[in-house]
Structure 1
Amino acid sequence: MTAYDPLRAAKGLRGAAAGVLVLEGIAVLFVPRGIAQTEEGLGGGRLALLLALSLVLILASGVQRRERGLLIGTALQVPLLLTGLMNSVMWFVGGAFVLIWLYLLQVRKELVGSRFGPVEEPRPSDADGGGATTT
């Protein structure tokens, strides 16, 4: 099943992907608070790593309109999930975001025809007003 207008569907899904990445970036900003209360505490290296990941996630949301935006967003799901090594709650939060991301890719595949590939323009047919060409 593909969407009636794949270009429009792809644009909407890019917006959803950008929104998910922004939410992921905000969620990563809550991790330092949880780490600070542990025995190990929050060191400068951990804080810098988390702030950098949050910034990269938020910046990646702006790249979603580009062709490689989904690839970049998909690659960033790995470090998001690995924040669970710093705070065990992030295994669940990161896992939930990864599942949402995978669902978004699946919906894109169903509506557009591919998860990461370029969007093909619909061919005109009798159903959408384009006349059939005869030779």
Structure 2
Amino acid sequence: MTAPDPVRAARALNGGAAAVLVLEAIVVLFVPRGIAQSGPGLTGFRLTYLLVLAVLLILAAGVQRRPRGLVIGTVLQVPLVLTGLFNSVLWVVGGIFALLWLYLLQLRRDMLGSILPRPAAPHPAPDPSPDTPPGSQEEQPHQ
């Protein structure tokens, strides 16, 4: 099944992907509080990892309109799931977000016929019309 208006559907799906990435970033910013109270606590590496991941998720949300935005968002799902190495509960949280992202990709394939956006075809150069005044074109040989 494809969407009746693929351009509008693509915009809506891009907005949904951006919203999921922003939500992921917000959740990642709540993680330091939880891991500070468990295991080895909140180390400098863990805090840096989480802050950089949150910033990357927000930046990826901003580029969802571009063709590579979807690829960037998909790649960022891996470090999100890997936050489970800091606390076992984060495996579940990261897994839920990864499944949500996979659902968005599946929905995109169903509605647009492709997961990745197709590159825009170049516009052909307009042909000169026969009504152009003489002298503006090269003279054609008469037969």
Verify same fold: TM over 0.5.
yes
The answer for unaligned runs of 5 or more in structure 2 is 122-143
Partner of 1:46: 46
In the alignment, the residues of structure 1 paired with residue 9 and residue 54 of structure 2 have an alpha-carbon distance, to the nearest angstrom, of: 28
CA deviation after TM superposition for structure 1 residue 118, in Å: 1.6
What SS class does the counterpart of residue 35 from structure 2 fall into?
helix
Question: How many residues are paired up?
Answer: 121
Contact 1:31/1:87 (8 A) holds in 2: no
Q: Distance in 1 between matches of 2:2 and 2:97?
A: 25
Q: 2:69 matched to 1:69?
A: yes
1:32 aligned onto 2:26: no
CA contact under 8 A between 1:81 and 1:95: conserved in structure 2?
Answer: yes
1:90 aligns with 2:80: no
Indicate conservation of the 8 Å contact 1:17/1:101, yes or no: yes
Aligned-pair RMSD on alpha carbons? 1.5
Number of the residue aligned with 2:11: 11
Post-superposition offset of 1:8: 0.6
Following the alignment from structure 1 to structure 2, what is the Cα–Cα distance between the partners of residues 57 and 105?
Answer: 17
More helix per residue: 1
- 3-state SS of paired residue (1:114): coil
**Cα offset for 1:91?**
0.6
Cα offset, 1:119, TM superposition: 7.2
Alignment partners' CA distance in 1, 2:88 and 2:43? 17
1:106 matched residue in structure 2: 106
| Matched residue SS, 1:37 | coil
**Radius of gyration: which is bigger?**
2
- The percentage of aligned residue pairs carrying the same residue is 64
Q: Is the 8 A contact 1:21 1:73 kept in 2?
A: yes
Tell me how far apart the structure 1 counterparts of residues 49 and 108 of structure 2 sit (CA, whole Å).
Answer: 31
SS in 1 for 2:55: helix
- Structure with bigger RCO (C-alpha 8 Å, 6+ apart): 1
Q: Is the 8 A contact 1:112 1:119 kept in 2?
A: no
Give the whole-Å Cα distance in 1 for the aligned partners of 2:16 and 2:103.
Answer: 11
**1:23-53 per-position Cα deviation (integer Å, ceiling 9, x unaligned):** 0001111111111101311111110111000
SS in 2 for 1:30: helix
